[in-house]
Amino acid sequence: MAKITLIGAGSVVFAKNLISDILQFPELSDSIIALMDIDPARLETARVMAERVVRKLGAKAKIEATLDRRKAVAGANYVICTIQVGGYKPGTVIDFDIPRRYGLLQTIGDTLGVGGVFRGLRTIPKILDIARDIQEVGAPGCTFLNYTNPMAMLCMAVDHAVGVPMVGLCHSVQGTSQQLANYAGLDSRHVTYRVAGINHMAFFLDYKYRGQDAYPLFFNLLNDPNFTQDKVRFEMMRRLGYFVTESSEHQSEYNPHFIHHGKAVIEKFNIPIDEYLRRCESIISTWKKAEAELIGDDGDIVVNPQTHEYGSFIIHSMETNTPRVIYGNVPNTGLITNLPDRCCVELPVLVDAQGLQPTHVGDLPPQLAAICRTNVNVQELTVAAALTGKREHIYHAVMTDPHAAASLPLDKIWAMCDDLIEAHQKVGLLGEYAPTIPGTGRTRAGTGDKVIVSLEPVKALAGITGEPIEFTVTVTNHGDKPFAGRLAFVSSPVAVTTKGGAVAIKVAAGATVAKRVVFKPAAAAKSLSLRAVSADARVLSRDFAFNPPRIVEVSATAPTPVEVRFMDNKLLTASLAVKKGMLEMSGRVLDTAVKVNEHAPWTASVIEFFLRRANGVGGTHQYFMLPRAKAPTVLTGDRKPTKYAAFKVKIDKGGYDFSLRINLADTKIQAKPGEPFYIDMIVGAEALGDAHGSCRVGWNGKTNGATRSDHFALVVSK
């Protein structure tokens, strides 16, 4: 005598079919049928219905009903799950309403897409609870039969987190096989087929009628103007060469080729937007009628012949050692060799007294594996979010969803997910997830919870003299918890604070605090490296470094070579000289897509120059050289044309040759011959050949800001 438990027995119509399917097998007619639901009224309806089915069939089965899930599972040999977490309201309504506000339309939204992701997030915890009950109180070898969507996500989560024997069951394979037979006018009794892929995106690899390939009949329908059925699925067959197992409604939102392309495409392929909402409302409106038919006053009930649902056949095969092949959703343990390991795959499964024995398929046709992987990405990330509690994986799941990615830019995807998370949490359908850095997909539990410390001298350093140097220590707490601790400072060569020791800091979550600290460098030091350290692992310090300028002697008769490299490319090669108060440089820049942006020069093709007197008087002079084909321009730091510089360019397909002259006397950079002045340079390019995109690189490979303390110094020979 087997104990068979139905979790979600309040889905009474489906439960009736399952129970009557099971009890029509004579070998199972004395089973214990345990019914469990969270809705007492629905559970009572299910109990009355089940009792009537038993009487109608003359079975000896025992019906039990309980609101206690663990009691229902205790001692069970089989647990069948048909739950819907969140129901139509508020769950499904939230899944549709919020995405619609962002312009993302759905048809069914229960398996993939943003609707599938959030249905998965609210359902996975409940499925795992059931699986753990099976593991802890179910009979040895208890098998979990899941009918709940999103099928692949739920089965994958149980496999990763619990690992009880489990199969996901869907009627799409056998249902579609009969649909195809009807479309082509074939007797389904003489049809054979082989299907593999993932749930709702498995494909008929073979479809034969009396041993012959029947696909030509389906392709012939593409040319029949009177045939207007299943337009999305037939369009996908036209493009992929194989017919998919789940409906056109589903396929339209599993792929990026349909809904988001607008009204004309939606109408062309007869895509019913918001279809699942209409179906739910229809079922709700007819519930009273259905209930009356199930438990009417006459005490009778209609029991239909066995359906094509696999659940009863699996139980019968395992109990009687009758071999059968069903199509089930199971972990991919090398079964489909070009889909990811341990993803959930749908394929033939042999069932007998030894249990579930999935069969090896090998490689899918590469185009089918590729389109399956786009769906597996979403499934894996949703499971990762549910199992790790990391909020960022919710964003990642939706951004990799084919339909969402085709419909919305990333900022809207992020905002939509935030709204959905908040709405689900507000009605108790979603637990807490590790918070992320606002506007990002990185959790605070990663680098996002850091307390970042930066140090900058109050006055720009021209050199190290041994005199005290005052620094501003800025502490920003990026975490969601306050920080209170002491910062010590490590330097090379050794420097000490005038107050000698660490600095106490308190920073509220999300706040910034700045303090002044005075350091006295070692007397003989010429350079200084300084950073903050703390016993708190959250503290991350940006090092401050000062190095004395390097002197480059520039001769009027022997120009100095200059080179700026990016990776293995010589981004700029030039020669530099000073002649009669004029700074001169000529050379070539590698840039195969020269573009300029006068309003933000640093974002495009540019040569930036920075000049400063040795004593720092007059500040830093900044120039932007814009390589226009006609009238190349030199702008000052405030983006105004200057009369102190001349710039010429000759642009070709590989970049541009240039010459530059800057009047040092007019800029008062060089006070007198022999006095050094500092120069730095940044080169921006839009593209380097066909291998690298835009780049922005400082002289000598530096990529940080241009007002660093390691500028080159030029001394003009006398």
Q: What is the dihedral of CA 33, 37, 40, 46, to 10 degrees?
A: -40
* Rounded Cα–Cα distance for residues 628 and 621 (Å): 22
* Rounded Cα–Cα distance for residues 488 and 30 (Å): 76
* Rounded Cα–Cα distance for residues 270 and 460 (Å): 68
* Rounded Cα–Cα distance for residues 269 and 711 (Å): 64
pLDDT tier, 462 (very low <50, low <70, confident <90, very high otherwise): low
Mind listing the pLDDT tens digit for each residue in 107-119? 999 999 999 999 9
Residue 691 pLDDT more than 70? no
Determine phi and psi for 167, rounding to 5 degrees: -140, 140
Cα dist. 662→445, 508, 548, 637, 668 in Å?
51, 50, 25, 15, 11
- Predicted pLDDT of residue 444: 61
- Predicted pLDDT of residue 553: 58
Contact 366, 377 (CB under 8 A): no
- Predicted pLDDT of residue 688: 83
Listed residue (655, 649, 651) closest to 692, CA to CA:
655
Determine phi and psi for 501, rounding to 5 degrees: 135, -170
Mind listing the pLDDT tens digit for each residue in 136-172? 999 999 999 999 999 999 999 999 999 899 999 998 9
* Rounded Cα–Cα distance for residues 559 and 543 (Å): 35
- Predicted pLDDT of residue 228: 92
Residue 245 pLDDT more than 70? yes
* Rounded Cα–Cα distance for residues 532 and 546 (Å): 16
- Give percent helix, percent strand, percent coil of the chain, each to the nearest 5: 35, 30, 35
- Predicted pLDDT of residue 258: 96
Mind listing the pLDDT tens digit for each residue in 593-652? 899 998 889 889 999 988 877 666 777 788 999 999 888 999 988 888 988 889 999 999
pLDDT tier, 700 (very low <50, low <70, confident <90, very high otherwise): low
Q: Which two tokens stand for residue 544?
A: 């401050």
Residue 344 pLDDT more than 90? yes
Question: For 10-14, 175-179, 490-494, 637-641, which range has the lowest pLDDT when averaged over its residues?
Answer: 490-494
Q: Which two tokens stand for residue 570?
A: 């010589």
pLDDT tier, 323 (very low <50, low <70, confident <90, very high otherwise): very high
User: Could you give the count of Cα atoms lying within 13 Å of 473 in the half-sphere of its Cβ?
Assistant: 26
CATH number, domain 450-546, options 2.60.40.10, 3.40.50.11440, 2.60.120.200, 1.10.260.40: 2.60.40.10
**How much of the chain exceeds pLDDT 90, in percent?**
64
Q: Is 171 a catalytic residue?
A: yes
Provide the CATH number for the domain formed by 550-716 in this structure: 2.60.40.1190
Residue 376 pLDDT more than 90? yes
- Predicted pLDDT of residue 526: 77
- Predicted pLDDT of residue 440: 75
Residue 550 pLDDT more than 60? no
Radius of gyration of the chain (CA): 36
pLDDT tier, 509 (very low <50, low <70, confident <90, very high otherwise): confident
- Predicted pLDDT of residue 501: 72
Average pLDDT over residues 359-367: 97
Average pLDDT over residues 30-44: 95
**How much of the chain exceeds pLDDT 70, in percent?**
92
171, 316, 403, 711: the active-site residue = 171
Q: Where do the H-state alpha helices sit in 110-261?
A: 113-137, 151-161, 172-184, 215-221, 231-240, 248-254
Determine phi and psi for 350, rounding to 5 degrees: -80, 135
pLDDT tier, 445 (very low <50, low <70, confident <90, very high otherwise): low
3-state class (DSSP) for residue 122:
helix
Helix axes 231-240, 366-388, angle to 10 degrees: 120
Higher pLDDT, 295 or 12: 12
- Predicted pLDDT of residue 554: 59
Average pLDDT over residues 545-573: 76
For 107, counting Cβ atoms within 10 Å of its Cβ (0-12 exposed, 13-18 middle, 19+ buried), the class is buried
Q: Do domains 3-87+110-171+282-354 and 550-716 have the same CATH topology?
A: no
- Predicted pLDDT of residue 295: 73
Higher pLDDT, 614 or 469: 469
Average pLDDT over residues 53-70: 95
Residue 56 pLDDT more than 70? yes
Q: Which two tokens stand for residue 261?
A: 């392309």
pLDDT tier, 674 (very low <50, low <70, confident <90, very high otherwise): low
pLDDT tier, 499 (very low <50, low <70, confident <90, very high otherwise): low
Listed residue (340, 20, 349, 12) closest to 168, CA to CA:
349
Q: Where do the H-state alpha helices sit in 204-341?
A: 215-221, 231-240, 248-254, 263-268, 275-285, 287-294, 311-320
For 498, counting Cβ atoms within 10 Å of its Cβ (0-12 exposed, 13-18 middle, 19+ buried), the class is exposed
* Rounded Cα–Cα distance for residues 710 and 415 (Å): 43
Cα dist. 353→175, 277, 319, 320, 613 in Å?
26, 41, 6, 7, 89
Residue 94 CA, chain-centre distance (Å), reads 21
Higher pLDDT, 42 or 464: 42
Domain residue ranges of the chain, discontinuous segments joined by +: 3-87+110-171+282-354, 450-546, 550-716
Average pLDDT over residues 525-548: 84
pLDDT tier, 708 (very low <50, low <70, confident <90, very high otherwise): very low
Global confidence as pTM: 0.80
3-state class (DSSP) for residue 35:
strand
- Predicted pLDDT of residue 447: 52
* Rounded Cα–Cα distance for residues 38 and 60 (Å): 27
Please state which architecture CATH assigns to domain 3-87+110-171+282-354.
Alpha-Beta Complex (3.90)
Residue 580 pLDDT more than 80? no
Q: Which two tokens stand for residue 518?
A: 């005075």
- Predicted pLDDT of residue 520: 83
Residue 399 pLDDT more than 90? yes
Indicate the average pLDDT of the chain.
89
Average pLDDT over residues 490-510: 80
Residue 711 pLDDT more than 60? no
Determine phi and psi for 436, rounding to 5 degrees: -105, 165
pLDDT tier, 97 (very low <50, low <70, confident <90, very high otherwise): very high
- Predicted pLDDT of residue 549: 60
